[in-house]
Copies of this chain bind each other. A is one copy, B any other.
């Protein structure tokens, strides 16, 4: 069994690939909840929704987030009423937030709601939030601290980042599916999808029991670099790395992950970094990591699983 830690668009793409090469009982997609926030009275879970829509085959292929063939009539009418429209919520997408909010307020867990929505959308594989406890990623910037979505969407990643905090993480427990996977003894590897190390993967590992498992359980941890040729495929990862005084390179991602990751998957464009990553004591695979087509996703997922099978286990 493999655990795939995922953030939004890049994570969802690899999760879809993994769902094509692994059977439902052999994959658990563990999704970042640090991006979650309350907006317009609704609980918005951007990464869970991106992963869910992607695995359901209804994701918007142009944006990566939201659903295909979306309409925007509620947002348009909301703008006319003077409401807040900086965070775009499509009409079909809104149903997810409305129904999730209602169920959470009725006492259901985020895990339960996520699982039920998956089933309703015909997804056979398991998607779970890293935790059902509230975690909120705070972006510390030169303009002061702000919630992730304020930084990411409202401010368009413009503020200069000085660091991150994951409010609530130290008290958070892993979700039931994650605990069950940890306790099963069946985990063959953990895959960090090519998601932002700072704001997608870090909030997951910040849950103490998850960080402890990563460090202590002796299962291979394989990270796919979200940095390709010096830039992120999508999102602010490269900008953040530079603002934190690091190079925006696959090597710098490996250095960042050094304590928790045993092997890196980097792009052929970054092949020159392979020796230096090896020198950090990590295994490394160099391959095409940019997932444009579904075939790309499946091929990359297959290569990662093949690589993971060959890695040494310390158990």
Contacts of A93 in B (CB 8 A): 77
Interface residue? A73 (CB, 8 A): yes
Segment among A22-30, A115-123, A164-172, A185-193 that sits at the interface with chain B: A115-123
**Roughly how many angstroms separate A93 CA and B96 CA in the complex, as a whole number?**
17
- With contacts A40-B102, A41-B101 taken as known, whether A95 is within 8 angstroms of B77 at the C-beta atoms is yes
Contact partner of A41 (CB less than 8 A), chosen from B73, B82, B91, B105, is B105
**Roughly how many angstroms separate A70 CA and B71 CA in the complex, as a whole number?**
12
**Roughly how many angstroms separate A91 CA and B89 CA in the complex, as a whole number?**
11
- With contacts A41-B102, A92-B76, A98-B40 taken as known, whether A120 is within 8 angstroms of B71 at the C-beta atoms is no
Contact between B117 and A99, CB atoms less than 8 A apart: no
Q: Which single residue of chain B is at the shortest CB-CB distance from A93?
A: B77
Contacts of A144 in B (CB 8 A): none
- With contacts A40-B102, A41-B102 taken as known, whether A95 is within 8 angstroms of B82 at the C-beta atoms is no
**Roughly how many angstroms separate A92 CA and B75 CA in the complex, as a whole number?**
8
**Roughly how many angstroms separate A82 CA and B80 CA in the complex, as a whole number?**
30
The contact string, 1 if C-beta is below 8 Å from chain B, for chain A 100-133, is: 0110010000000000110011000000000000
Interface residue? A158 (CB, 8 A): no
Q: Which single residue of chain B is at the shortest CB-CB distance from A76?
A: B92
How many of these chains are in the complex? 2
Chain A at the B interface: SS class: helix
Contact between B117 and A92, CB atoms less than 8 A apart: no
Contact between A116 and B40, CB atoms less than 8 A apart: no
Q: Which single residue of chain B is at the shortest CB-CB distance from A73?
A: B91
Interface residues of A in 210-238 (CB under 8 A from B): none
Contact partner of A77 (CB less than 8 A), chosen from B41, B82, B83, B92, is B92
Q: How far is the CB of A186 from chain B (nearest CB, A)?
A: 31
Interface residue? A160 (CB, 8 A): no
Interface residue? A162 (CB, 8 A): no
The contact string, 1 if C-beta is below 8 Å from chain B, for chain A 150-162, is: 0000000000000
Contact partner of A73 (CB less than 8 A), chosen from B71, B82, B83, B121, is B71
**Roughly how many angstroms separate A82 CA and B73 CA in the complex, as a whole number?**
22
Contact between A95 and B71, CB atoms less than 8 A apart: no
Contacts of A116 in B (CB 8 A): 81-82
Contact between B74 and A98, CB atoms less than 8 A apart: yes
- 7 A–B contacts, CB within 8 A, in A order: A41-B42, A41-B102, A71-B73, A77-B93, A80-B95, A82-B99, A82-B116
Complex A-B, nearest 4 residue pairs according to Cβ-Cβ distance, in ascending order: A77-B95, A73-B91, A78-B95, A77-B92
